[in-house]
Amino acid sequence: MRARIPKQGGAQDMNAMIRQAQKMQDKITELQEDIEAHITQLVSDGIITDDGLIAQLRKQVEASLANSTVAEWFRPGWKLYNECSILQYNPADGTTIEQRPDRVMSDDERTIVVDYKFAKPRPEHATQVKSYIELLRKIGHQNVSGYLWYVLRNEVVAVEV
């Protein structure tokens, strides 16, 4: 398959296309580093110990990157908050609860929270993302949506509040 390059603007259009491709590659690299950090954590926690399984996991993650919803999360232009703690104070009992979504991204119009899962879907996964959505709204984020990304299944589930 051959790509057609626009002739308008000549070198300027070509340079713009090259810059855009470099930005996309940078985002893919960020995604790979982000996912690699999660895999490393699974290994250090003793959850995954088999080298073959680790290699299979990496291969499945690469396949997941072809998902258009996932690709949107890694496009240029997002302000990212990866595994940042969000603290919530409960005045009733004086406790503070820490929540750590895997990925929160925002632009001028919306905020998206994503929680990566490497296990089978469970009802408490959606409950967890709902709490992230509600908490982000409480601290001032507008137009918040949430997703579960079951990486090994290459499945993205929208979570509604």
Strand order in the sheet with 79-82: 79-82, 103-106, 111-117, 144-150, 155-159
Q: What is the mean pLDDT of residues 132-157?
A: 92
Q: Please tell me the predicted confidence (pLDDT) of residue 30.
A: 65
Q: Is the pTM of this model over 0.75?
A: no
Q: Please tell me the predicted confidence (pLDDT) of residue 9.
A: 53
Amino acid at 66: A
Report pLDDT digits (tens) over 46-93. Answer: 888 888 888 887 787 777 777 889 888 888 889 988 778 888 888 899
pLDDT at 6 over 50: no
Pair of tokens at residue 79: 């302000």
For the chain, the average pLDDT equals 81
Residue 38: CA atoms inside 13 Å, Cβ hemisphere, count?
21
For 137, residues 6+ apart whose C-beta sits below 8 A from its C-beta are: 144
pLDDT at 102 over 70: yes
pLDDT at 20 over 70: no
For 29, residues 6+ apart whose C-beta sits below 8 A from its C-beta are: none
What count of other Cβ atoms lies within 10 Å of the Cβ of residue 115? 21
Pair of tokens at residue 104: 């929160």
92 conformational bin, left if phi > 0, alpha if psi -120 to 50, beta if neither? alpha
Q: Three-state SS for 109?
A: coil
Q: What is the mean pLDDT of residues 8-36?
A: 62
